Amino acid sequence: MNDKLNDSSGHDRADNLRALSLAALGVVFGDIGTSPLYTFKTVLDVTGPHPDPTTTLGALSLIVWTLIVITSFKYVALAMSVDNEGEGGILALMSLLGVKQRHRPVIVLAGLFGAALIYGDGAITPAISVLSALEGTHIVLPELAPYVLPAAVAILIGLFALQRQGTARIGGLFGPIMALWFVTIGLLGLWGIARHPAVLWALDPLLGLRYLASGGPMAFLLLGGVFLCVTGAEALYADMGHFGRRPIRLAWSALVFPALVLNYAGQAALVLAGAPIDHIFFRLCPDSLRLALVVLATIATIIASQAIVTGAYSMTRQAAQLGFLPRVRVVQTSATGYGQIYVPSVNWLLMLATVGLAIGFGSSSNLAAAYGIAVSGTMMITTLLLFAAMREIWHWRLPAALAVAGLLAVIDLAFVSANMVKVLQGGWVPLAMAAVVYAVMLVWRAGAAAVQAERRSLGGRSDAALRQIVAGKIPRVPGTAVFLARSEVAAPPILIWHLKNNRALHESVLIADVTTASVPYVPRSGPVALRKLAPQVWRCEVQFGFMEPPDIPPLVERLAAEGYPFDPADVTYYMAHEHILPRDDGRGLPRPVEAVFAFLQRNAPPLCEYFRVPRDRVVEIGREFAI
């Protein structure tokens, strides 16, 4: 793995580790770090207004050991040990197993479905987090209760409206604020534990297992609430590429995990001591400091929401560059931080979904009834992919891989089953959103494959065009032409269309076959490999990682510096403008699939934006594809 600390040593390495760990607090742990606002409250909603000590301690034991097994073991220890050139997350793992190892549609389809599910619950996270924080005013200033929802909607709209500014300027504040948050909730938890120390018996895992075995249907339903304590665990793995595994592991082990356990134990201690269970998180705080806690909680949830939103941007870019989503317009908001991007289309769609969910459900309790169902499915798919990694990357023996993956799968299946009860209570909403995203992925994948098959059919005409160029039958004009190809044939269709319509060719020609590699970043060291097809006509294969922007002009400048007769100041870029039509012979894609793909193709951003080519140097050549 390309760890971000490999180039450091001694004192500098320690300083770098601490700095990255602090920064990770503000990006990686926002979601899981704000879950105490609503997790135990949701569990208590299942148990009723007066839970007995056995239920309270059993629920706490399940929460603590869910954090240990799912977050500490599965994600921090296990998943973060397998990476795709330093990157983590379900798409990076899917790419590593399904593309890099060999083309396996089952792995790819499972990974895409898991990614789609993240979008579903990702829309709920900002809404439930901000609402949970603001609802603390109910016990501080009850007269403000009618204004909680409008305030939450205003904050959410403001959050999405400010995304175009980027987080480069304020990102440095996120880590210290979240550090203050975790220290605060840990201290509040200690205060609660001091009121009823017997709550520490819940650290015994047998307590939770016995409750599951004897608690009946209520214990099973309670698992749906318990699961909310790990809804941000997937982000730890997905954001590994930003910080490296060591800073994330250090921040989790040294601060985040202890603070979470202390806070959940403190909340349970208050319940055992007879405190009212409504807004139990805020009841941990002394009356004089509750308003300050509400403010801090609101800021923490905004930071957590920011991390979810930027994570959606990053995942969308990965999926688009791997060919599973249409091209999207990506705006870089920082000159130094490649991960700091803004995707307008995703931003506004996510805003509509999040605000709509906040208004539609009205409270964090109602949203909790729909929350977790989609991400529990993602976690199960991650377990299946990890089993494949155990066998193919780590080369574990089958019994060991089955034992570990089987244990995780049983736990995942229990949570998925418990969360399925939420479908009729609103859980269908994130599932429906995920289904739409998954359908778009499948349609785009099928349509792109059909178009590529049509391109391959032009192989014979490609050879004929090259023969004409070699024989000198094509007039040459001054300048440099770059044809951006997505075809396996030597002379791509766009070059053939150009010759057919213009009957001339530039003096120097570069055919750039641009593809996306199954790794995040492709090294740029060493000369570019070019293949000469005809006099002054070269072809090269250019690969970009799925975390890189396909930037073509620097390629031309680099080749000119290596001595090739390309003039970066006098270059024309030729790109295809594809029009999708249905086939008349009935052998193409189903009409609904073709129609959706054609709509997505028409509304995708121009290729010149995707390849970062100046508009005034681009010539688009239209071509119809019947699929």
Q: Which two tokens stand for residue 289?
A: 């400091």
Positions of the chain with pLDDT lower than 70, given as ranges:
1-15, 98-104, 166-172, 242, 333-340, 457-462, 487-490, 518, 526-527
Task: Give pLDDT, residue 526.
Answer: 66
- Cβ proximity of 238 and 84 under 8 Å: no
CA–CA separation, 518 vs 532, rounded Å?
Answer: 27
- Cβ proximity of 544 and 321 under 8 Å: yes
Quickly count: other Cβ atoms within 10 Å of residue 291's Cβ: 15
On whether the pTM is more than 0.95, the answer is no
CA–CA separation, 103 vs 389, rounded Å?
Answer: 15
Statement: 18-446 belongs to CATH 3.60.150.10? no
Question: Can you tell me which residue has the tokens 């050549």?
Answer: 621
CA–CA separation, 355 vs 152, rounded Å?
Answer: 9
- Cβ proximity of 465 and 499 under 8 Å: yes
Q: What is the pLDDT of residues 434-457, one digit of tens each?
A: 899 999 989 998 888 888 787 776
Q: Which two tokens stand for residue 558?
A: 């680099």
- Cβ proximity of 126 and 31 under 8 Å: no
Task: Give pLDDT, residue 216.
Answer: 81
CA–CA separation, 375 vs 526, rounded Å?
Answer: 43
Task: Give pLDDT, residue 73.
Answer: 95
CA–CA separation, 511 vs 500, rounded Å?
Answer: 17
CA–CA separation, 35 vs 29, rounded Å?
Answer: 10
**Residue 53 DSSP SS3:** helix
CA–chain centroid gap for 292, Å, is 32
Strand order in the sheet with 537-544: 530-534, 537-544, 505-516, 476-485, 571-581, 618-626
Please tell me the number of Cα atoms within 13 Å of 588 on its side-chain side: 21
DSSP assigned state of 202: G
Q: Of 126, 122, 115, 128, which Cα lies nearest the Cα of 379?
A: 115
- Cβ proximity of 476 and 506 under 8 Å: yes
Q: Of 279, 234, 488, which Cα lies nearest the Cα of 374?
A: 234
Q: What is the pLDDT of residues 277-288, one digit of tens each?
A: 888 999 999 888
**Residue 330 DSSP SS3:** coil
Alpha carbon separation from 485 to 398, 488, 552, 597, 605 (Å, rounded)? 44, 9, 12, 20, 17
> Looking at the chain, which residues constitute the CATH 1.20.1740.10 domain(s)?
18-446
